Amino acid sequence: MTQLLLFNITNGLIIGAFYVLMALGLSLILNLSNVINFAHGGFLVIGGYIAYTLTPYVGFWGALLIAPVLTALIGLLVERVLIRPLYGRDPLYGLLLTFGLAFMIEDGTRAIWGAQGKPVTIPAVLARPLTPELFFITGYRLFMVVAAIAVVALLFAILRYTRLGVRIRAGTLDLETVSAMGVNIHALRSLNFAAGVYLAGLSGVLAAGQLGLEPTMGTGLLMPSFVAIIVGGVGSLTGTLIGGLLIGLASGVTAVFLPAASEAVIYVLMALILLLRPRGLLGEEGMMT
Amino acid sequence: MSGKARNLALLAAIWATLVLAPFWMPLVGGYTALGARVLVLALAAMSVNFLLGFTGVLSFGHAAYFGLGAYGAGFALKFLAKSTPLSLVCGMLLGGLAGALLGSLIVRRRGVYFAMVTIAFGQVLYYVAFQWSSLTGGDDGLRGFSRQPLDFGFASIDILSNETAFYFFVLACFALAVAVMGYILQSPFGRTMIAIRENERRARFLGIAIERHIWIAFSLSCFFMGFAGALYALVNNFADPRGLHYSQSGDFVIMAVMGGMRNFWGPLLGAAVFVALQDYLSSLTVNWMSFVGLLFVLVVLFFPRGLLGFARPKASA
């Protein structure tokens, strides 16, 4: 029982790490561009497939470095061409546009790489379990969590200590004032969007190594990421971080006692939060209400 | 006065087109069943627009109440009684009551956040319909029911095998729902909804209970949605979880936006164009999903006010 529980807690934390990476990217984009990026799952899939294509040439480690950057560049292009004309308009339009974009990406990846799932080879070092007793903790799973922690730590360090980070945080609160202070908010939004998409691409590469690749895999991770943001509170990246881990853990633990409800439990959690604390765990009162 | 005359002429043209549809549709390559589909999806898109266009609140999870309406009608026909009117009432109640219940949680948020919460709650209902396969048939959908002849005591109309008779039945239901919707929008309550859309803060200062009004508007639109869903179950003699999925919600929203969301009849036009395009594209290419996605992108970039978009532009966010 203890081992089963431990197994599912680990599972929950690993899934939670994915939710966090996805939700942080979504959250960044939502805070500064006021767009719910429905295509975020699509960018995850793009990242994964680029890694799959690159692996034979540059190996897994090379792909891990290059694929998210390429995905971010695609994101930059999308922001420049499609999203920028929508700034200042009703958020409805950004939502609808990225929704359509998600369709196109899913169908496009299917046309290019086929509907069949694709495996991504991971280095042999990472494929082994750590110890026979803890057979469920392979090196790769540990690596995913470490990578996620490292990236999240880096993101928070950038936001906390660099000029760019300060501007992004300030823009979340009041973009107009940031613009009035002489900051080029177009460039800021572009960079911020690319950063968000980078996180999606990275999640895609990491997920590909664990789960393999399918054109539809992005959509499955998108909804929990929404829930993570709602639970954590819109406008707070720390909240998103906690929210993602919390729902990952909740669904992991529920899987032990009531497997059928492991997916539903995150929504129950969301309903409870909305009932007891409508602004989310760390959401600012008055943000986006 | 001339404006009034123009409105009457427009109304007459719309209803004439709809009433005569079984006669002109085959001429342009359509079929009567497609007409019934357009009417039902148009009613759903108009229900979404009741909230989006007239209260200014975006629900991106409304398909959930549509799908519940379909299941409600299916359950009623399968387990309660073989009666078409009863199935419509049951579908409407299931969709509407679920909406009213969840709506009380949802209306606490506004803007983008409101949209996210509606999506998430819509997905809960989708998962319930998907997982509870002993009741709903799961992924295979709910089968084993069919619409029943309308029995008036002195006469009965066969709407099961007679496609044209069924089309007129759907049209009558559509007309009834649309009349109620129009009546609500003309009422003081409807005017208040528009006041909230135009300037929520000012409406609040005037002493309007914003949250309660949005909740009522949300619930009403869910009742309409449930009714449309119940009709949809009768069209297909089938109900499945995909009717609840957020991608279905997206279709409804794009119908409303494409037609023109500030116009009462916009979603009807949007639904007609959307259904015709989808029907045509899916017969043409396996990659029709890309084209539907492209349609979303093009509408947003080039026709944000829709085909009937002569209304004023929306205030910037």
Q: What tokens does B110 get? A: 């506004």
Q: Where are the domains of chain B?
A: 1-30, 32-246
Which residue is listed with tokens 């508007």? B217
Residue A84 covered by a domain? yes
Interface test with B, best of A30, A32, A103, A263 (most B CBs within 10 A): A103
Structural domains counted in chain A: 1
Query: Could you tell me the CATH number of the domain that includes residue A100?
Result: 1.10.3470
User: Which of chain B's residues have a Cβ under 8 Å away from the Cβ of A288?
Assistant: 109-113
Cα-based torsion angle of the residue sequence A93, A98, A103, A105 in order, rounded to the nearest 10 degrees: 150
User: Which of chain B's residues have a Cβ under 8 Å away from the Cβ of A88?
Assistant: 316-317
Interface test with B, best of A27, A90, A219, A262 (most B CBs within 10 A): A90
Q: Tell me the shortest Cα–Cα distance from A5 to chain B, in angstroms.
A: 24
Q: Is A226 in the B-facing interface, judged by CB distances under 8 Å?
A: yes
Residue A286 covered by a domain? no
pLDDT of residue A285: 56
Residue A95 covered by a domain? yes
Q: Is B296 in the A-facing interface, judged by CB distances under 8 Å?
A: yes
pLDDT of residue B309: 66
Residue A165 covered by a domain? yes
Is the ipTM beyond the 0.85 threshold? no
* A7-42: pLDDT as tens digits: 888 888 888 888 899 999 998 998 888 888 989 999
**Cα–Cα distance measured from residue A15 to residue A123, given in angstroms and rounded to the nearest whole number:** 21
What φ, ψ does residue B246 adopt, rounded to 5°?
A: -65, -20
Q: How many residues does chain B have?
A: 317
- Across the interface, whether the CB atoms of A95 and B115 are under 8 A apart is answered yes
pLDDT of residue B317: 37
Residue A284 covered by a domain? no
Q: Tell me the shortest Cα–Cα distance from B7 to chain A, in angstroms.
A: 29
Q: Tell me the shortest Cα–Cα distance from B110 to chain A, in angstroms.
A: 5
- Across the interface, whether the CB atoms of B254 and A102 are under 8 A apart is answered no
Comparing A78 with B304, the larger pLDDT belongs to A78
* B113-142: pLDDT as tens digits: 788 888 888 888 888 888 888 888 877 888
Which residue is listed with tokens 């960018």? A43
Please report, rounded to a whole number, the percentage of residues in chain B having pLDDT higher than 90.
Answer: 29
Containing structural domain, residue A77: 2-276
* Crossing angle (nearest 10°) for helices B32-52 and B210-236: 170
Q: Is A264 in the B-facing interface, judged by CB distances under 8 Å?
A: yes
Q: Tell me the shortest Cα–Cα distance from A64 to chain B, in angstroms.
A: 28
- Work out the pLDDT band at B150, boundaries 50, 70, 90: confident
List CB contacts of B101: < 8 A, sequence separation 6 or more: none
* A162-213: pLDDT as tens digits: 888 888 888 888 888 888 888 888 888 999 999 999 999 999 988 887 777 8
Pick from B144, B192, B154, B152: nearest CA to B172: B152
User: Which of chain A's residues have a Cβ under 8 Å away from the Cβ of B113?
Assistant: 230, 234, 288-289
Nearest CA in chain B to A82: B301
- Across the interface, whether the CB atoms of A275 and B105 are under 8 A apart is answered yes
